Amino acid sequence: MTNSAAAAAAPSAEFRAAGTDLSERRRSGVSRGPLIDLVRPTDAPDIVWNENGAARISAFATIAKLAADEKLAAAYPGLTTAAAGLATPQIRHVATLGGNLAQRSRCWYFRDPHIPCLKKGGEVCPARDGNHLYGVAFDLGPCVAPHPSTMAAALMAYDATVTTDQRRHLGITALLGDGSNGYADNLLVPGEMIQSLDLGVPAAGERALYRRAISRSYAEWPLVEIVVRAVITEGTFKLARVTAGGIAPVPLRLDGTESVLEGATANAATIEKAVAQSTAGAKPLAMTGYKLDLLRGLLRDLLERIAGLGGTRTSESEL
């Protein structure tokens, strides 16, 4: 029986690959249904390169594999630095790319099996009027928990396309939604499984950085995280892509910031204008205004490093 057929036969079933997130939900009692174990195809490569130099990455590829692949780092540095900053070495060596994209909310109300919430069939989001210290700063829908996938934010910066076993090809926004649906962590249909991700042709001369702000030193989900890609030629931003996680129900592409940067001189004045645009449209909750300060601070730091202005920049892979 295929994975899709098994899922159709047991519609409440969940897929399990490495199970790094699922195991915790099973332990707490949030997840109780049947499981469908995913078996990696024999001898299937993690990364395939086409004749144009673009990569296709298997959903079974581990985060550690992505972080350590030198060819991938040269072509898509923002992706590999994000992978290297995720979780702990132990988790990176077993967690898969597909699992990271499809993981469930980290909200403590969702993770409590005794508290109903929108994502468990409830009628309200208890975090909205409760403790939402780690919630969204861009309030886009009924759920105020930020999306947990670091790799989704990085892949959004590269306009990646997700291919599923139902022959669907989805951008990251099509996969996760626009934040207005508070009832699901993604828009996969029941039984649908991520198979691979396609990236575009690498940008010549790209510089990319990733950084996150966390509440403790290790093994913590980010309060705010940012991926910045840029191509700077003769002192001018020719390409700018900026995506952020931890601030909304889905990763956000900061279009206003990109518009300020592209075609502008890579100097302090441009960076200040770009940083100011990063919080346009923000709607922080009572306890999450601090995330906007973190967003502006992280973005300013990354743009200054990419432009070679000030700071103590050590390398473009610094987390």
Q: Torsions phi, psi of 192, nearest 5?
A: -85, 140
What token pair was written down for 214?
């966390």
Question: For residues 31 and 12, what is the distance between their CA atoms, to the nearest angstrom?
Answer: 10
Q: What domain range includes position 216?
A: 207-307
CA-CA distances (angstroms) from residue 30 to 22, 23, 49, 54, 114?
9, 10, 39, 39, 9
On whether residue 256 sits in a domain, the answer given is yes
On whether residue 312 sits in a domain, the answer given is no
pLDDT at 129: 97
Give the chain's domain count.
1
pLDDT at 43: 84
On whether residue 236 sits in a domain, the answer given is yes
Q: Tally Cβ neighbours within 10 Å of residue 52.
A: 8
On whether residue 221 sits in a domain, the answer given is yes
- What residues contact residue 14 under an 8 Å CB cut-off, 6+ apart? 22, 31, 33, 34, 35, 36
CATH (domain of 270)? 3.30.390.50
Inter-axis angle of helices 268-277 and 290-307, nearest 10: 150
On whether residue 265 sits in a domain, the answer given is yes
Maximal CA-CA distance, the chain: 60
| Per-position pLDDT tens, the chain of length 319 | 355 555 444 557 899 998 888 888 998 889 888 999 998 888 889 999 999 999 999 999 999 999 999 999 999 999 999 999 998 899 999 999 999 999 999 999 999 999 999 999 999 999 999 999 999 999 999 999 999 999 999 999 999 999 999 999 999 999 999 999 999 999 999 999 999 999 999 999 999 999 999 987 666 789 999 999 999 999 999 999 999 999 999 999 999 999 999 999 999 999 999 999 999 999 999 999 999 999 999 999 999 999 999 654 433 333 3
Buried b (16+ CB within 10 A) or exposed e, 149-178: bbbbbbbbbbebbbbbbeebebebbebbbe
pLDDT at 13: 87
On whether residue 157 sits in a domain, the answer given is no
On whether residue 9 sits in a domain, the answer given is no
On whether residue 231 sits in a domain, the answer given is yes
- Is beta strand 35-37 parallel, antiparallel or unpaired with respect to 14-16? parallel
pTM of the model: 0.92
pLDDT at 33: 87
Q: Torsions phi, psi of 125, nearest 5?
A: -95, 105
Inter-axis angle of helices 150-157 and 77-84, nearest 10: 170
Q: Tally Cβ neighbours within 10 Å of residue 46.
A: 19
